[in-house]
Amino acid sequence: MGLRSILAGGAALLMTCAGGAAHAQDLPQPLGHANEFAAGAPPAELPQRPNPQADAYLPITGRQRLGWLARKTLGPPNLVAGIFSSAIGTARNQPPEDGPHWSGFGERYGVRLTGIATSNVLEAGLGAVWGEDPRYAREPERSFLTRLTSVAVQTFMTRRRHGQFAPAYARFAAVTGSNFLSNTWRPDSEADSYHAGIRTLLGFGMVMGGNAWDEFWPTARARLFHRRAPQP
């Protein structure tokens, strides 16, 4: 076999291999990108599993914070609760300085609303500085027990700017501070540390009740009026 024949055969073999490689590149790649692992691609370059809660959370805006303040202070649940609270106080004549009449009812209602407004303003203001989100985060897809636990936990915890939960320092300061501060405009019979402490405990109870309302009322309303419950 001459040199020319050998060179011609080698060229034909190279062309055959090149054609096979090009045809292999046109074939679909196997699932899992095994070729990338074969090439030594580090696992860090692969797509990461998303975090649904982190992706879904958007930090509260200034407008939304003002809306929370208005709703928690002047919203129907708070105003209606004030009617019952003031009516009970009037019936029992507590505090006695206000009297058991309509004027006493109005006095009690105004004092309560002033205290709640002070607490909400403090929480909204301090929360804006410390990056706390005072809004309740609903969990409508969870079980009843899990939702009830969330109501209790979020009484003392709030979300930060990145969505993670942490102690609600602004709420602690607001509820406690407003109830002690209200001693300056309350009747003498309840303007002391003991009564301020009791009001502080009741204040956190009110927060928990508001969380329960935010968690369960949309679901109940949807069932009662056949409307779709809003998403959290």
Residue 184 lies in a domain: yes
Residue 34 lies in a domain: no
Helix H segments across the chain?
3-26, 34-38, 52-56, 62-74, 76-92, 102-130, 144-153, 169-181, 193-225
Q: Are 77 and 213 in contact (CB under 8 A)?
A: yes
Q: State how far the alpha carbon of 173 is from the alpha carbons of 14, 120, 203, 204, 210, in Å.
A: 80, 11, 12, 12, 18
Query: What is the reported pLDDT for 5?
Result: 52
What's the total number of domains in the chain?
1
Residue 14 lies in a domain: no
User: What is the dihedral angle through the alpha carbons of 217, 230, 162, 147, rounded to the nearest 10 degrees?
Assistant: 40
Query: What is the reported pLDDT for 57?
Result: 87
* Domain carrying residue 64: 52-225
Q: Are 132 and 174 in contact (CB under 8 A)?
A: no
Beta bridge partners of 210: none
Residue 16 lies in a domain: no
Residue 57 lies in a domain: yes
Residue 147 lies in a domain: yes
Taking alpha carbons only, the member of 65, 77, 160, 51 closest to residue 121 is 65
Query: What is the reported pLDDT for 226?
Result: 72
Residue 231 lies in a domain: no
Residue 112 lies in a domain: yes
Query: What is the reported pLDDT for 230?
Result: 58
Exposure string over 186-209, b if 16+ CB within 10 A, otherwise e: bbeebeeeebbeebbeebbebbbe
As averages over each run of 10 residues, the pLDDT of the chain (232 residues) reads: 47 46 43 41 40 68 97 94 96 95 96 96 97 95 95 97 95 98 95 96 96 94 74 56
Q: How far is CA 75 from the centre of its chain?
A: 19
pTM beyond cutoff 0.75: no
